[in-house]
Amino acid sequence: MMNFVLVVLVVVVVVVVIDGCSGQQAYVNNKQLDCYKNYSNTGGYLCNNGADVSSCLSYLTFRSTPIYNSAATIGYLLSADPSQIAQINNISDVDTLPSDTLLIVPTNCSCNNNNTYYQHNASYVLKTTSETYFTVSNNTYQGLTTCQSMMAQNPYNYRDLLVGMKLTAPLRCACPTSNQTHAGFTYLLTYLVTWRDTISLIAHRFRSDESSILDANQLSSDDIVFPFTPILVPLKTKPTKIDSAVSPPPPPTPPTLATVPVGNQSTSSSKGVFIGVGVGGVVLLLFALAGFLFWFFRRRPNRHGQPVPDTSPPTTPPKGAVSYTTALPDSKSWSVSPEGVRYAVGSLTVYKYEELEKGTAFFREDNRIKGSVYMGSFKGDKAAVKVMKGNVSEEINILKQINHSNIIRLSGLCVHDGNTYLVYEYADNGSLADWLLRSKKKGQSQSLGWKQRVQIAYDVADALNYLHNYATPPYIHKNLKSSNILLDGELRAKLANFGLARSIREDQDLQLTRHVVGTYGYMAPEYIDNGLVTPKLDVYAFGVVILELLSGSETGNAIQKKRNGQDEEEEELLSASISQVLGGENVREKLRGFMDPSLSNEYPLDLAYSLAQLANKCVAHPINSRPPISEVFVILSKILSSSMDWDSSSYEVDPFT
């Protein structure tokens, strides 16, 4: 009995000592995204890091893609032996694998000739002009190598890459250190982290333990790991075919809160049982939240809008007006640091200032789209570059978490000289406001047709519905107006400018603000009067946008010149004029008069009437009379499908007879 206790104690002590020993190889920590800077951990895993051997058998992992989808093609890409790949994964050489099958690839790993890094050399011939050191290392090799190490080991400057060039891809691998050997580990496997991974999931998958993985990568348990980065997994025996071969596909929306793993630890195929992601997601979200708190306390007036003087919140706010469920953690006292921005970067491209200068021709005047937004061209792709002063982590954090085809995508950023440069997807057709203005000036050759207008309204409703009901956490855009609705090459709408957006928090039924900012004409009355912030704010503004689409009203202020009489002209808010149009006598004439003349009667009056009614509901003054965006979206989808069937030459249904 005594002996047994002693043995247990010794084992515990030994385990603790081994666990406590210092780390071996530094994790890349997302530094591989910053291609034009050398970091100590991006070159590769170091040879002289306590290892006894200069070469060994090691294992890489690779996820099959539509191009590299068999042992033969993957072996070719990774300079590995296809028959060994086939054997270890229990497939044949030429089996075509479903995409995203996680494969184990045995390779020889050795120190390169300068005795600096362990690596397995693969070679890759450039196939298209759009390939760069970054895309080859991140996308083709899935993070098995880094752009920094490729740049260091290839003679070509990144600007001089040409199709047909043969590049060395030093794939990251490592041999066990003497400490790992003593602990019984014989191999190191280079695993590629993907969405939803956690260290414990990885440990479970390879029957390893968490602490030795943390140790092997110089990580501590509260560090974050990022998708598309390699991590070393120490193994005691040769790995075998991975059971849950197909990893979960990347989520449609970026990381949500990590939930406690619900997978029963006794099953090895825990595929699909994890909701959310690992520590990375949590920290990201916390930083997002921190960004919000920061922004909440020091917001500046919107440069483009017309600030309205501060108003005090009412003493007894109406209770229970709105309530939402979100996955946001309780607010804690987090502070925003430059690190926060770094974590926020995630999968965004980090540009060098010189690249931006080159892409925008030194921010030349004729590349200026509007205000501080410039058109740029990067690797042949057009982009919009927005120059912003001060802290913009809130907008970055929001757009990073949002993934919707009707919301403008943020693709990269650059911080230089106190300014932040945000690089967005480019919308070829500019803003809706410009279109409406142009149709006034140039006549109908440049104006939007009925179907296009309905499509735009539908797209915006889709985006808002996503923001209010499906994003985690949900958001209120707060600054919806036609100049923030951009149109792509197909005239499909994309919502932009999230500088004022804020998340909907579950711990409060409603939110009040003392700083009422926005654009007159689009702001809901309860917001102007009381600073009340609810998603119905967006519904109101959306109603105004529909009215603009119908009437072709001037941009920005959403004010229509009231045509009463011949020469008398009076300015009136669109939201006020629509109820007069739809009420009382002669609705048909009044509606025809309200509609954009540049449509020149080429629209179905019944559908125009339905749309006007919908807009009228959206701009209702009592907040509870306004429909939720989900309802608006459903109605719009009906109007859209009827509009698509509508043919301008067909018989006109008159709703008023």
Ligand X SMILES: *[C@@H]1O[C@H](CO)[C@@H](O)[C@H](O)[C@H]1NC(C)=O
| Residue in the block written with tokens 């707060």 | 478
- Report d(CA 516, CA 199) in Å as an integer: 45
Q: Does 469 bind ligand X (CB under 6 A)?
A: no
Q: Does 153 bind ligand X (CB under 6 A)?
A: yes
Q: Which stretch binds ligand X (CB under 6 A): 108-116, 156-164, 294-302, 638-646?
A: 108-116
CB of 24 to ligand X, least distance (A): 6
DSSP output for 57-116: EEEEEEE--SSS-SHHHHHHHHT--HHHHHHHTT--TTPPPPTTBEEEEEEEEEE-TTS-
Out of 84, 419, 444, 630, the only residue in the binding site for ligand X (CB under 6 A) is: 84
Contact 494, 488 (CB under 8 A): yes
HSE (side-chain half, CA atoms, 13 Å) at 346? 24
Q: Does 94 bind ligand X (CB under 6 A)?
A: no
Out of 25, 29, 30, 107, the only residue in the binding site for ligand X (CB under 6 A) is: 107
For residue 190, give the nearest of 66, 96, 103 by alpha carbon. Answer: 103
For residue 38, give the nearest of 23, 28, 48, 46 by alpha carbon. Answer: 28
Compute, in degrees rounded to 10, the torsion defined by CA atoms 355, 359, 363, 369. -140
How many residues interact with ligand X (rule CB under 6 A)? 34
Q: Does 24 bind ligand X (CB under 6 A)?
A: yes
Contacts to ligand X from residues 33-52, by CB under 6 A: 36-38, 50
For residue 450, give the nearest of 599, 620, 271 by alpha carbon. Answer: 599
The smaller minimum CB distance to ligand X, of residues 89 and 616, is found at 89
Q: Does 121 bind ligand X (CB under 6 A)?
A: yes
Q: Does 177 bind ligand X (CB under 6 A)?
A: yes
Out of 25, 132, 208, 349, the only residue in the binding site for ligand X (CB under 6 A) is: 349
Q: Which residue's C-beta sits nearest to ligand X?
A: 50
Q: Does 73 bind ligand X (CB under 6 A)?
A: no
- Report d(CA 187, CA 467) in Å as an integer: 46
Contacts to ligand X from residues 129-148, by CB under 6 A: 138-139, 142
Q: Does 101 bind ligand X (CB under 6 A)?
A: no
CB of 414 to ligand X, least distance (A): 14
Tokens of 626: 């306004």
Out of 1, 5, 40, 113, the only residue in the binding site for ligand X (CB under 6 A) is: 113
**SS3 of 248, please?**
coil
Q: Does 465 bind ligand X (CB under 6 A)?
A: no
CB of 486 to ligand X, least distance (A): 22
Q: Does 292 bind ligand X (CB under 6 A)?
A: no
CB of 260 to ligand X, least distance (A): 9
**271: phi > 0 → left, psi -120 to 50 → alpha, else beta; which?**
beta
Task: Give strand pairing partners of 635.
Answer: none
Q: Does 179 bind ligand X (CB under 6 A)?
A: yes
Binding residues for ligand X, rule: CB under 6 A, are 17, 21-22, 24, 36-38, 50, 81, 84, 90, 106-108, 110, 112-114, 116, 121, 138-139, 142, 152-153, 168, 177, 179, 228, 241, 264, 266, 347, 349
